[in-house]
Amino acid sequence: MGIAGLVILTAQLVAQPPSPPGVPPWDKGIQPISRDSFYNAIECGKKGGANPTCVFWDTGLCKNADFTLAMFTPYKMVAYEVWQAVSKKQEPPTPSYAEAQRTRVTVGVTRAPGSKNAIRAVAIKRGEATVKPMTQSLESAGGGKFIFDPSAFAPRGPIVVELTGRTRTLTCAIPQSVLTVFR
């Protein structure tokens, strides 16, 4: 039994790696911005296109009928800024390295169309350890933003993303091999 007599159900999902592979290649996973990742992200953004995998690597992550997920990382901050300019046929900018260093990982959760399961919490589980967000904000539309330190997503073993909703909890297992391609 859940809160106030509600039955809380749990559904298990498994994350799929982005397809096709991103350009330029990446196998270091989510991390704080470094010289290497900064310039790799700039090159990624310069590739342009409608939906480049190296920018939008999180599209379709943990697909389910209740929520859609989007992740904003230090790498994505840099790549997206460059990609936006290139998409508008503008000169690619050099994003702020200092701002990228301050950027943490935001897991954005949006309630899927037709879903009645509003998000309540997000946590990352690695083995027996649970990492809660540094900060979170819930939205009236049933979604929210959950900010984590990049280390929560380090590819040093598999993780489980736990999405606690009002009516049921979904978990999404992310194997280490998939974490390495996250950016």
**Mean predicted confidence (pLDDT) in 141-170:** 96
For 38-91, what is each residue's pLDDT tens digit? 999 999 999 888 888 889 888 888 999 999 999 999 999 999 999 999 999 999
Residue 24's pLDDT band (cuts 50, 70, 90): low
* Total count of residues recorded for the chain: 183
- Residue 77 and residue 37 in contact, taking contact as beta carbons nearer than 8 Å: no
Give backbone dihedrals phi and psi of 122, rounded to 5 degrees, phi first: -135, 135
- Residue 122 and residue 162 in contact, taking contact as beta carbons nearer than 8 Å: yes
DSSP 98-111: HHHHH--EEEEEEE
Q: Check residue 7 and give its pLDDT.
A: 43
For 95-133, what is each residue's pLDDT tens digit? 999 999 999 999 999 999 999 999 999 999 999 999 999
**One-letter identity of residue 64:** N
**Mean predicted confidence (pLDDT) in 26-37:** 92
Give the other-Cβ count within 10 Å of 135's Cβ. Answer: 11
Residue 16's pLDDT band (cuts 50, 70, 90): low
Residue 12's pLDDT band (cuts 50, 70, 90): confident
- Residue 110 and residue 68 in contact, taking contact as beta carbons nearer than 8 Å: yes
